[in-house]
Every structure is written in structure tokens, then in C-alpha cells.
Structure 1
């Protein structure tokens, strides 16, 4: 895909999301089970805290009717009458003590409730994020070729955080409000069933209103999560290529592209916001109507002394006050319930993306239980290997062998499949058919860990991690001593320039090694491979970013490194591989020539023509070679624009 194409409007994880069923049940079932004690503690504490929160209102109603107006005998729900004091002042004191205790003890239960739900949410958030990242690491490179870093970061960061917000705030609030609504409704029915029907009459309408909201908002939130990934991808691409943007004077163009994806997010999110801002005021109006109706009927009831219209019996002032206060407490929870549904829908959309990624089928076959690779001679053989990227054939009938300790060079035009051949050896991909063997052991039958421990790899892009020079050389060999690290740097012709850095081996390299030159990054990457002391060595354009003089120095150290070590090398500078024991020439994914440097020159084929290009003998090249090069270049450019 061309790097200047606008971001796609499609959800890059739509295929994965469609495979996920009931993601929230799976989230709680798979990840919540180990932490059931935390959430149980939160639930019980929430129940106790909510019941204690209701106690002051109940005691106020009792005090009004029995202590202040004297129309009812002093009594408390579920408390035997014999346990209660008989003197008014003692009764008043008991009410004060109970109200005070409800606030003090309730505060303790509120803290315990928050601790339980927060612990539950944080534990699940940690497990989901680490499991999702671990799943990503197991996927083959074809998956990453189709996804942008920003999209993946959006899942690991935004989507996982969205789950934590629901499990903490949403689940906490949902249970708290459920307890409150059920407890208030039960007490109102106990106090006066007839007026309770009036107070609870909005509930069915709220349920219908919420159902309509849920079915409308759910697809909106899925689109919002996708657009967040588009924004992250664009920003990640632009920040990573900030040097190119500045040197190309394309700030205005890139600002326009960021504006485009940000506008898409704005419009998608605003569509969800529009539905949400209509829902919550409507829900509050319905809840408020229940409060007004309760106040109207209850007020007339107290004024007249008997039930208005179809209502019968009496309603005391204290009971009326309790109804008004509790109905008011019902209004906000009912309106807030919509907010919980809103959080749930956001979390469900995020869970779909997370589990869709976890269920990704592009992972290499699990090697659990596989034997470790044992390297004796280091003999490597490719047997009729075929491979395709997304059904596009890349390699066809690749067969060759290299004896242990020998160096094999892969040569060919850009796009011939050279790097892919070596990526198959590292099992970054698995071949569609055929087999690759090391000392007779098929690499798909051994553990990937032991395979990659046996192979040192230096690629075209010398990726350095944020940290020190020392950290980057020792990456993968974390127990290496300072002396070993320095020896590896010296072998890679890196020690001298490292000593000249401000902090030597403790110098921070910056993100992706931005503070170092391309040649310096390359030499640190080579030092990393040297320190690993692998049985096999893979050099994929390992000297592509260094000048001729530095290349000579590195080549000298690589010659020592490759002695008695099976080595694969790719190089566009053919002078660096002319001494290889065997040279395999690829064109369009097939082997077209093989032999030593001298043999291939005498054959006067593709290798000889490529050598002639680098020797400056362009005028002597046959027209057929030039025409084929033009066709290959056209195909490469077309593939990049697709």
C-alpha cells in the first residue's frame, strides 16, 4: 500500500470482531474468575454501604411521626419493640446514635467497596493487556504487514483501559444502583404499597427507553473504536517519519491528513454523542415525572387526610417525607443507569477488538512440547519450499543446501525474495509447502525458542530500543558481562565510536536509536549478534547503512565471525559476498543460478550482469537484461501502490 494513501474508513479488525461471541461474558468468565474474592468483597461491602445510606432517611421518617408529631408509636423496622427505649429523650438519642453510626460505618464499607472493585478491575486490566501483547508476539509477520502500529497500540492502550473503566466505575455503579433501587423499592412497598406503585411507575418506560438506546448506540461505538485506531495510526506514522516530513517540506500536507482522520473521528464520535445527549435528558425527564407524580399524590393525601381518588387509607407526614426523599434518590440512579449502559457498550466494543485479536488465526503453529533444536555441524537444507503473501506467490521451488561452517550468499534484484528466504529460516513465517532442515531436523518440529537462539540475525533495518548503548548490545544476552559487551563491540568495529559518545556505553540512544547515525546503529546491531555467539548467522544487508571505509572494517570482523559458522548473507554490494562458498541467484522467487563468484561470472547470466552494473559497465549490458529490469521495477511500483 502506498504510504500517501488516506487511512481506510473500514475497521481493520472487523474480520476478527465478527468471530467474537459474547465478549463481556468471556471477559468476566475467563479473567474475572481468579479474582472472585475481590469482587465478592466489593459486592458485599456495596450492599452494606447502600443499606446504611438508606438508614438516615428511614430514621428521619420515624422521628417525625413518633418524636416530633407523636402520631405514631416509636418503632424501627426489623427491631423488636422490647429492645427499644421508652422515654422520648432516649429514643431521640438512639436515633442520633444510629444516624451517626450509619455514616461512620458506611464510610468504611464504601472504602472497602471501592477497594474490592478497583482491585478486580486493575488485575483484569493487567492480565488482558499482557495476554493480548503476548498473543501479538506469537503472530506471524504477515499479520503485522496488514496492520499499522497505531491500530495495535489503540487496542493495547485505549481498548484495555476502556475495559478497566467499566469494570471499576461501571460495574461498581451498576451493583450499587441495583442495590439502592431494589432496597428503596422494597421499603416503599413495605411503607405504602399504593403510593409505591406511583413512585415506581416510570420504571417500565425507562427500561424500554434504555433498550432503544442500547440497540442504537452499539454500532456507533464499534465505529468510534475503529476511528480511534485510524487516528493513532496516522499520528504514529507521522511522528515516526518526522524527519522525512521536515526535509520534504510537507508539514502542511501532513497537517491536512491528520485533520482528515481527526475529522472522521470527530464525526463518528459526534454521531454517538448525539444519541447519548438525547438519551440522558429524556431519561431524567421520565424519572423526574415519577418524582412529581409522587409529590402530587402524596401531598394531596397528607392534606386531605385520606387517599385521593382510588387510593385508600392514611399517609403520615413522616411517611410522605420518606417517600419524597427516597423517590428523589431514585431519580438520579435511574438516570445514571443510562450512563452505565453507555459505559457497557463502549467496553463491549473494546472487548470485541481485544478478543478478536486474541483469537487471530494467523499465529504460527504452537510448538508446545516440541524438542529443542540441536546444532552439530550447522548443515542447512531447503527442500522444494514455496511461500505466498496473501495468496501472492513469492517463492517457488526453493531448493538448496549449505554445509556446516560455509557461507551462502543470496543475490538478486529487488523483490526477488531474498529476505523472505531467510525469514522462513527464522520462522517469522512458515512455508506453504516444502521443508527447511538444520542438521536433518525440520525447523517446524522444533521449538521456536531454541531455533532462534541458534541463529543470530542482523537485518537491513538496525532497530535499537530506547535505552543505553550497553542495553542494546546486550539485548537477548542479558547476563553478559561488561567485558563481553566490549569485546563484541570491538569485533563489530563499534568500540571506538562508543567511547567517543558523551556517556560511552551508558549513552542513551533515543527512540529507535535516533541519536546515532545509520552506520553506528548497524554496528551496534552487529555487536548484538556477535555477543549472542550463535551457531548460524544471518546477515540481511548487514552493511547497507555504512560507508565504504566502515564497511571494510566491519567486513574484516565479520570474516572472523563467520569462520566455522554457517552463514547466510544478502548484499546488494556484490563485492562483500564474492568470497562466499556458494552464491544462489534469485529472480521472481525462483533460483536461476548458483555457484561461486568466478563460476557465475563465466556463466554470463544474471549475476554477471548485476556485477557489471556495480562495476559501471552499463553500456555493455544486453538489452534483454535492461528490459527485464524495467519490467521488475514497474511490477514493484505497482505492488507498492496496490
Structure 2
């Protein structure tokens, strides 16, 4: 993706610095007691797990062989038993106790670590969702739903896995390596130096692995994203796939994406296939060196070669047992690296989302819009979606008195929907002003403005839930009687009562169990329940049959009565009774008047009316050519909702 093609999300994600450090600073500090408890328990548990080999070595030398006094590190000699039986039972008790302490503290650190990880992720997920809700429509114009869901779900899960597993395993690895090294050097520094000779090689091997595997993990994550996008598109468009008979084509595309993911996963796994056995081999070399040198030392009674001093049987056993302990923690480095890389990329996406600034914000001195009469003014309004893009609206000026109905008509891409989105402050104007009852919409709170404006769109969005819950959405405190009254006014009560459970019927995701006309009437009922002062109807009766349109139009007439109403329509018969009709072309108002005045003017409106009424067969060539040019410009600008 070129710099020019990057979205705001991509730009701010690339700017995130030290994302995991930021995660701990901004979220981990609030949950630090859980982290401290977990880390402390982890360190003590790992330290306790080193006691059995050490005590076993002491017991072999003192209790079984009787060649050395019974001593334990950090324990005064006067506190230790002097007879063999007492020393034996003390050793057995310490070994058993260490296993109990390890088990209990492992449980403690597991509980604490999970609490820390999940509490942090709960905060990250909810904060990210809240931030997403606050973002301007610019962001959603540019992002796919699947990518946003990935941030809220997949990326949060990656961070939780890192905080829960990788962080604790890293501490465990460090404690084990340091603890084993200290014990071995305390027992016999010369043999310890030989035993740990492979550790530098392990460190270098791990460094090589991390450098090599990082780009492969990145490539694998990209492949996962591509596969998810392909699956989402194919499933979302399953009706088109079936009606077009392109099942095999889509299967091939998914197969290609899946094969790419397969290849990149294998490329990553090949390194793991080398790394893990390589680490085990190096650990095996350490064990073999310890066994050979220590064995010769015991057999000869003195150190082989340049080695000096004595080596007891117990110390030899301790060395063998602890050397074996190197393998498991070091072999987990590949998993830790994987989780670290995934968490780093995920935290970049999370903070990239949170860092996107809002363009539409309330001014510090913004006031609530109250007692709305419904007078609306557009005063020389200019607008463009991008700072460097073409103007979508040009010097649009008109006034609407309270209770009037104004229709916006014109070709696709003329700017009709954009014009009314500015009224709701889904975007802010670049020039001029929009006023409601004399208040610039930028000087009032967005929440009070949007509460005063009801919006019914062509795409009636319904949530997964019951009929009543969807009508009540936005006025959650409305009682059942108010819900039924709104449904009656929207011509929806009759069909609702025929549903299996009436108002308690589950309608499925996006209302898939209802027809298009039924969904639209529920949307109108929802708007009626909110009792807005200003009403926006954006193609509210399109794509339905004539009978359904009649029912919807009746409900819209009730809804718009005594309210300032804006109507966007391609079907001109639905707006011919409007108080004023504005004809938009190329982002500017080119004609205005009522239906009769516009027909007499014999301009664009008259030509469009003639085509729809069947009075003329087709538009003149100049209108067709201009329409083609507008369609091309619409594709480039992305203003396809008009």
C-alpha cells in the first residue's frame, strides 16, 4: 500500500512507539497488585522447584554415603539433625514440601496472572470500542468491518495471551536459568563452567532464530488477514454467489488464500523444526559433557585434565538433574517469541485505533439544543471529504421554516445524502455554516443535535433481538404502550401481531426474518418513538413494491406532520407535494421551487420528471454524458451514497 493509499488507521498505527511498554504504562499500572502477586509467586515457585535436586545431592553424600557433613544452604548447622534417620526425614520433608509449595504458588501465580491479563484486556477492549464509537464517519468510510472487529477481538486476544502466558514464561525462564546457574556454581564452579558451556551457543542460536522468524510471523499474519477478508466477503455475498452460480470461483479464491496461509505457516514452522531440536541438542551436549566429565571425576577420584578438587556423588546427581532442567524452558523460547511478535503487532493496531483524532468534536463551550422549533439554514456551505479532494458541495444556501417539507432530488453523486449528513454533524462543513433555530450546529453538543433529528434511511438497520427491543432502541425507557402506539403509527402493528411471539419475536441479525418493507416500518416506528423535531428521510421508500410503498408512505406522512422534514428521493412522484424542491447537480443547487414551478422552468427536474412519467423516452444526450462523468467522479471520490 502506498503512502497515498494509507488510511488514518494505517498512518497512526505506524506512528505507535514501544507499544508493549505503552500497554503496561496505560493499562498495567491499574492492575499492578495482580502482576506483583503473580510474579512473586512465580519466582518463589520456580525457586522451590530447584530444591529437590539440591537436597537429594546433600542426602546422598551425608545420609547414604556418609562421606560429608549434612549441611543446607542458608540453614545454621545447629538447627539440623545429627543422626542419619533425622537427616533422612528432614530431606524427605523438604523435598515433599518443595513440591507442595511449587504446586500452591503455581496455582497462585496462575490465578493472579489470569486476573491481570483478563482485566487489562477487558479495559483495552472496552476502551477501544468506546474510542471506535467516537470516531468520525471518515474512519468508517475507509475501513472494513472485519478489520475493526479484528482489533476488538483478535488483537485483544493476542495481547491477553502474551500477558497471561509469554510474560510469565519469560520470568520462569529467567528464574530457572539464574537459579540453576547459582546452584551449580555453588556446588562445583569448574564442572558448572563446563556444564553451562552450551548456554552462550543457546543464546546466539535463539538470537538467530528471533531475527529469522520475525518476518515470517509478519507474513503469516498478513496471510491470515487476507484469508479472513476473503471468507468474510464470500460469506457476506453468499446470495450473489448462489444467484450468479460462482460457487466454484469463490472456492478457488478461498483455496488460493488458504494455500498462501499454509505456505507461510510452513515457512515459519520450518524454523521451529530447526530451533527446538537444536536447543534440545545443545542441552543434550551439556548433559553429555556433565555426565562424561563428572563420571570420570568420580571414577578417578580427581578432576580429569586441568580440573582440580573433589566431586561427590551427591553433587554429581544434582548436576545431572539440573542440567536436564535447561531443556524445557529454553525450548519454549520459540513460543514466547511468537506470542511477543503477535502482541507487538496487535498493540500497534490497538493504539493506532486509539490515537486517531476526532474531527467532529464538541466545543468546550457547546450548549445543548433545546426547545427546537425546526428552522434550518444552510449558509454558503462547502464540503469535501479529503483535504486535497474535490469539493462535494459548493456554496449551498437555502432556508427551511419550521414544519416545512423540503425535497432533495438530482442524479447520483450530486451530494444529496452528504448535505443532510452535515446537518447531523456526521461530518463538519469546510466552509459556510448550518444553523438550527439560529444555532450553528458546531456550537451545540452533538448528542442534543442528533436527539433532535430523526433519520430514516433506505437501509433500515435492525439489531439481533426482539421487535420491541428494536423499536425501543434510542428510547430504552419507553413503556410497552408507547412502543405499540409507535408501531401503529408506522403501519407495523398488524404484521407484528401475526409474528410467532408478537413484539417478543426474535428477528435475527439485521432483521433477516422480516421482509424489506417490514424492516422499513420498524425503522419508522423507532423514529416515531423518539419524537424528533426535525426529520430526514433518505430514500425511505425505495426498493419496495407498490403496496408496501403505500403503507410506508402513509406512516411517513404521519411522521412528518408538523415537523421540519427533508426528503431525498429518486422517485419524483413521492416528493411532488413538497413545499420546496431543491435540484442538486455537481454539489450545487441548480434549481429550486415547487413541483409546478420546476416543470414550467423546463430544466433538469422537468427532464427527469418527463422520463419517470413516461412523457419522454429518454434524457437528452448532454444529460446522459454529464451523468456518466458524475458516475466516474463518484467512484474516484467514494461519494457513492448519493
1:463 paired residue number: 461
Q: 2:64 and 2:7 mapped to 1: Cα distance?
A: 66
Q: Does 1:418 align with 2:421?
A: no
Query: How far 1:14 sits from its partner (Å)?
Result: 4.3
CA contact (8 A) 1:152 1:229 kept: no
Which one of the candidate residues 24, 30, 35 is aligned to 2:31?
35
1:639/1:380 CA distance change after superposition, 3 Å:
closer
Contact 2:466 2:503 in 1 (8 A): yes
Which residue does 2:140 correspond to in 1?
A: 144
Aligned to 2:603: 605
Task: Indicate whether 1:574 and 2:572 are aligned.
Answer: yes
Of 289, 292, 296, the residue aligned with 1:293 is 289
Q: Quote the residue 2:383 is aligned against.
A: 387
CA contact (8 A) 2:121 2:159 kept: yes
CA pair 527-287 structure 1, distance change in 2 beyond 3 A: same
Unaligned 5+ segments in structure 1 are 1-8
Partner of 1:215: 211
User: Does the 8 A contact of 1:385 with 1:435 survive in 2?
Assistant: yes
The answer on whether the counterparts of 2:7 and 2:142 sit within 8 Å (CA) in structure 1 is no
Which residue in the other structure is 2:238 paired with? 242
Q: Which residue of 2 aligns with 1:360?
A: 356
Residue 308 (1) aligns with residue 304 (2)? yes
Q: Displacement of 1:141 after TM fit?
A: 2.0
Match of 1:377 in 2: 373
| Residue ranges of structure 2 left out of the alignment (5+ in a row) | none
Greater CA deviation, 597-606 or 134-143? 134-143
Work out whether residues 492 and 557 of structure 1, in 8 Å CA contact, stay in contact via their aligned partners in 2.
yes
Q: Distance in 1 between matches of 2:169 and 2:331?
A: 12
Q: What is aligned with 2:336?
A: 340
CA distance in 2, matches of 1:10, 1:409: 37
Q: CA RMSD in A?
A: 2.3
Cα separation, 2, equivalents of 1:555 and 1:126 = 45
Please say which of residues 586-595 and 358-367 is displaced more in the overlay. Answer: 358-367
TM-score by length of 1: 0.94
In 2, are the aligned partners of 1:386 and 1:431 still within 8 Å (CA)?
yes
| Match of residue 518, structure 1, among 512, 516, 519 | 516
Q: Distance in 1 between matches of 2:253 and 2:385?
A: 29
Partner of residue 4, structure 1? none
Matched with 2:59 is 63
Q: Answer whether contact 2:177 2:326 (CA < 8 A) is retained.
A: yes
1:134-173 → structure 2 map (5 Å cutoff): 134-173=130-169
- Which residue of 318, 321, 327 corresponds with 1:322? 318
CA contact (8 A) 1:150 1:230 kept: no
Out of 89, 95, 105, the position equivalent to 2:85 is 89
Aligned to 1:121: 117
TM-score, normalising length: structure 2: 0.94
Deviations 1:374-402 (A, max 9, x none): 34322112222222234243222222221
Q: 2:158, 2:342 within 8 Å by CA — same for their partners in 1?
A: yes
Contact 2:384–2:430 at 8 Å: present in 1 too?
yes
Q: C-alpha separation between the residues in 2 aligned to 1:185 and 1:305?
A: 24
Q: Is the 8 A contact 2:62 2:69 kept in 1?
A: yes
The answer as to whether partners of 1:463 and 1:512 remain within 8 angstroms in 2 is yes
User: 1:375–1:439: 8 Å Cα contact kept in structure 2?
Assistant: no
For residue 401 of structure 2, what is the aligned residue in structure 1? 403
CA distance in 2, matches of 1:161, 1:626: 52
Residue by residue, what CA displacement relative to the aligned partner does 1:461-504 show, whole Å, maximum 9, x if unpaired?
11111111111111111111111111111111111111111221
**Aligned residue pair count:** 634
Aligned partner of 2:434 in structure 1 is 436
- Equivalent residue for 2:486, pick from 474, 478, 488: 488
Contact 1:375–1:438 (CA under 8 A) maintained in structure 2? no
Moved more, 185-194 or 197-206: 197-206
Residues 558-567 or 185-194, more deviating: 558-567
- SS at 2:392 equivalent: strand
